[in-house]
Amino acid sequence: MFRHGFEKRDTRAKTTMEPETGGGVVARLSDRSKARRLGVSEEELRAHVRRHLETLMNTIRLDAVDDLSDTPHVAESVLNYGFQDLSNLTRKEMMGRQVAESVKEALARHEPRLVKRSIAVSIKSLEGDDYQRVFVEISADLIADPADVSIEFSADIDTGAGKIILNNQRI
């Protein structure tokens, strides 16, 4: 809803009252108010989640640079938003189960629109790939009404920079 208002440039638009031909008054809603009342389409929801996942995946969390063991509330809060730092991991370390679990934990903690028990993360590489690329595949269910929506994303991990490039969304 907030993104919709920003994109339409009507975040400050007010609901106006206009006279009807029959003598009554009708309220004219801003696009933002309409989106809030009607919700967003499945396609828009997927696009919003994709954008937020891309931001989450490319943000290094605080505990990667500062020990938060004596502040567990900070470690569990939005102050520790993001993924672990991948830039100092070898390709072999990235292929380990620990990185997949870390990605899954970050998604469960920071993306409330995903059904936590549905999140599945796998890390793969292509045999014979000269660039030694590593791929992340994510599947989960988005909380939606009347029924949850399945989503799948794949992403490349740039092992040199430690960045994750979200590729295509598979439906």
> Checking DSSP bridges between strand 134-142 and strand 120-125, what pairing results, if any?
antiparallel
What domains are there in the chain, each with its CATH number?
A: 1-38 (no CATH), 40-170 (3.10.450)
- The structure tokens listed for 146 are 């009347």
Q: Is 45 exposed, middle or buried (0-12, 13-18, 19+ CB in 10 A)?
A: middle
3-state secondary structure of 114: strand
CA pair distance 149, 137, nearest whole angstrom: 17
Ordered DSSP codes for 140-153: EEE--SSS-EEEEE
pTM of this structure: 0.72
Residues 149-164 pLDDT 10s: 899 999 888 777 767 8
Q: How many CB atoms lie within 10 A of CB 13?
A: 15
Tell me, what's the pLDDT at 104?
94
Q: Which residues of the chain have pLDDT under 70?
A: 1-38, 128-132, 162, 168-171
- Give the per-residue pLDDT at 121: 94
CA–CA gap between residue 53 and residue 28 (Å, rounded): 34
